[in-house]
Structure 1
Amino acid sequence: MTTEFDQYQANLQQIQTTMLYGQANRIPLLKRILLALDQPDLKYPIIHVCGTNGKGSTSLMMSQLLQATGLKVGVFASPALNDPREMIQVNRQFIDYRFFNQAFDQLAAGMGRLGMNWAEISEFEAWFLIAVLYFAQAKVDMAILECGLGGELDATNAIATAAYDVFVHIDYDHMALLGDSIEAIATTKAKIIRAHAQVINYPDQFPVVNAIIETIARERAAHYHSAKLQNVLLTKGNLDGSDVLAKFNGADLKLHLSLAGAFQVANLRTVLTFVASYNRQPIQGPITAEILQNTLKDLRFAGRMQLISQDPLLYGDGGHNPDAFASIVKALKPYEKDYQIIMVLGFLKDKDVLDNLDLLQDLKADYIATTPDNPQRALDADTLRELMQKTLPAANTITAVADPANALVYAKVLAQHLVKPLIFVAGSFYLVKTVVNPGE
Structure 2
Amino acid sequence: METADTTEAGREIEKLLSLHPKGFDLSLDRITRLLAALGDPHKRLPPVIHVAGTNGKGSVTAFSRAILEAAGLSVHVHTSPHLVNWHERYRLGKKGGHGAYVSDPVLADAVRRVAEANAGQKITVFEILTAVTFLLFAEHPADVAIIEVGLGGRFDATNVIERPAACVIMPISLDHQAYLGDRVELIAAEKAGIMKRGAPVVIGHQEEDAARDVLIATAERLSCPLTVYGQDFLAYGEFGRMVYQDEFGLMDLPPPKLPGRHQYANAAAAIRAVKASGLPVNEHAFERGLISVEWPGRLQRLTVGALAKLAPALSEIWIDGGHNPGAGVVIAETMANFEESDPRPLFLVTGMINTKDPRGYFDAFRGIAERVFTVPIRGSDAGIDPVALASDAMDAGLEAEPLSSVADALYAIGRIVEEDAVAPRILIGGSLYLVGDVLADNGTPPV
TM-score w.r.t. the length of structure 1 is 0.88
Secondary structure of 1:156's counterpart equals coil
Q: Determine if contact 1:308/1:316 at 8 Å carries over to the other structure.
A: yes
Which residue of 2 is the match for residue 363 of structure 1?
Answer: 368
Which residue of 2 is the match for residue 391 of structure 1?
Answer: 396
| 2:394 aligned partner, one-letter code | Q
Distance 1:230 1:271 in 2: 11
Secondary structure of 2:255's counterpart equals strand
Displacement after TM superposition at 1:197 (Å):
1.0
Distance 1:412 1:367 in 2: 14
Which residue of 1 is the match for residue 346 of structure 2?
Answer: 341
Please give the per-residue CA displacement for 1:60-84, whole angstroms capped at 9, x wherever unaligned.
Answer: 1111211222222111101111111
Q: Determine if contact 1:28/1:158 at 8 Å carries over to the other structure.
A: no
**Paired residue for 2:281, among 262, 273, 287?**
287
Please give the per-residue CA displacement for 1:105-158, whole angstroms capped at 9, x wherever unaligned.
Answer: 3323432xxxx31x6221211111101100111112211111111111111113
Q: How does 1:209-228 map to 2 (within 5 A)?
A: 209-228=211-230
1:34 aligns with 2:41: no
| 1:8 aligned partner, one-letter code | A
Which residue of 2 is the match for residue 264 of structure 1?
Answer: 263
Which residue of 1 is the match for residue 385 of structure 2?
Answer: 380
Q: Determine if contact 2:375/2:403 at 8 Å carries over to the other structure.
A: yes
Query: Taking structure 1 as reference, are residues 358 and 221 closer, same or farther at Cα in structure 2, changes over 3 Å only?
Result: same
Deviates more, 1:97-106 or 1:124-133: 97-106
Query: Taking structure 1 as reference, are residues 11 and 435 closer, same or farther at Cα in structure 2, changes over 3 Å only?
Result: closer
Displacement after TM superposition at 1:45 (Å):
1.7
Distance 1:8 1:384 in 2: 34
Displacement after TM superposition at 1:38 (Å):
1.6
**Paired residue for 1:110, among 102, 109, 117?**
117
Q: Determine if contact 1:42/1:161 at 8 Å carries over to the other structure.
A: no
Which residue of 2 is the match for residue 299 of structure 1?
Answer: 293
Which residue of 2 is the match for residue 427 of structure 1?
Answer: 430
Which residue of 2 is the match for residue 316 of structure 1?
Answer: 319
Distance 1:34 1:415 in 2: 56
Which residue of 2 is the match for residue 197 of structure 1?
Answer: 199
Please give the per-residue CA displacement for 1:210-259, whole angstroms capped at 9, x wherever unaligned.
Answer: 222222223223221213222322237xxxxx842223753441322011
Secondary structure of 1:15's counterpart equals helix
Distance 1:433 1:330 in 2: 23
Which residue of 2 is the match for residue 90 of structure 1?
Answer: 92
| 1:254 aligned partner, one-letter code | L
Query: Taking structure 1 as reference, are residues 139 and 426 closer, same or farther at Cα in structure 2, changes over 3 Å only?
Result: same
Q: Determine if contact 1:55/1:146 at 8 Å carries over to the other structure.
A: yes
Query: Taking structure 1 as reference, are residues 351 and 20 closer, same or farther at Cα in structure 2, changes over 3 Å only?
Result: closer
1:179 aligns with 2:181: yes
Secondary structure of 1:200's counterpart equals strand
**Paired residue for 1:439, among 417, 422, 446?**
446
Distance 1:226 1:389 in 2: 39
Deviates more, 1:416-425 or 1:264-273: 416-425
Query: Taking structure 1 as reference, are residues 412 and 213 closer, same or farther at Cα in structure 2, changes over 3 Å only?
Result: same
Distance 1:74 1:335 in 2: 34
Displacement after TM superposition at 1:317 (Å):
0.6
1:129 aligns with 2:131: yes
| 2:272 aligned partner, one-letter code | T
| 2:32 aligned partner, one-letter code | K
Which residue of 1 is the match for residue 253 of structure 2?
Answer: 254
Displacement after TM superposition at 1:199 (Å):
0.7
| 2:273 aligned partner, one-letter code | F
Deviates more, 1:294-303 or 1:358-367: 358-367
Which residue of 2 is the match for residue 239 of structure 1?
Answer: none
Deviates more, 1:123-132 or 1:334-343: 334-343
Displacement after TM superposition at 1:424 (Å):
1.0
Query: Taking structure 1 as reference, are residues 207 and 247 closer, same or farther at Cα in structure 2, changes over 3 Å only?
Result: same
Deviates more, 1:262-271 or 1:401-410: 401-410
Which residue of 2 is the match for residue 143 of structure 1?
Answer: 145
Q: Determine if contact 2:234/2:265 at 8 Å carries over to the other structure.
A: no
Secondary structure of 1:158's counterpart equals coil
Which residue of 2 is the match for residue 244 of structure 1?
Answer: 242
Q: Determine if contact 2:24/2:126 at 8 Å carries over to the other structure.
A: no
Query: Taking structure 1 as reference, are residues 75 and 381 closer, same or farther at Cα in structure 2, changes over 3 Å only?
Result: same
Would you identify which runs of 4 or more consecutive aligned residues in structure 1 move more than 4 Å?
A: 412-416
The size of the alignment, in residue pairs, is: 416
Distance 2:133 2:415 in 1: 43
| 1:66 aligned partner, one-letter code | L
Displacement after TM superposition at 1:381 (Å):
1.7
Displacement after TM superposition at 1:329 (Å):
1.1
| 1:167 aligned partner, one-letter code | I
Deviates more, 1:26-35 or 1:383-392: 383-392
Displacement after TM superposition at 1:420 (Å):
3.2
Choose between structure 1 and 2 for higher RCO, CA contacts under 8 A separated by at least 6 residues: 2
Residue identity (%): 25
Query: Taking structure 1 as reference, are residues 109 and 232 closer, same or farther at Cα in structure 2, changes over 3 Å only?
Result: same
List alignment gaps of at least 5 residues for structure 2.
Answer: 1-5, 94-98, 305-313
Query: How big is the alpha-carbon RMSD for the aligned residues of Structure 1 and Structure 2?
Result: 2.2
Secondary structure of 2:24's counterpart equals coil
| 1:272 aligned partner, one-letter code | I
Which residue of 2 is the match for residue 78 of structure 1?
Answer: 80
Displacement after TM superposition at 1:20 (Å):
4.9
Distance 2:416 2:255 in 1: 33
Q: How does 1:6-45 map to 2 (within 5 A)?
A: 7-16=8-17, 18-22=21-25, 25-43=26-44, 44-45=46-47
Please give the per-residue CA displacement for 1:21-57, whole angstroms capped at 9, x wherever unaligned.
Answer: 34xx520221122122122112222111111001110
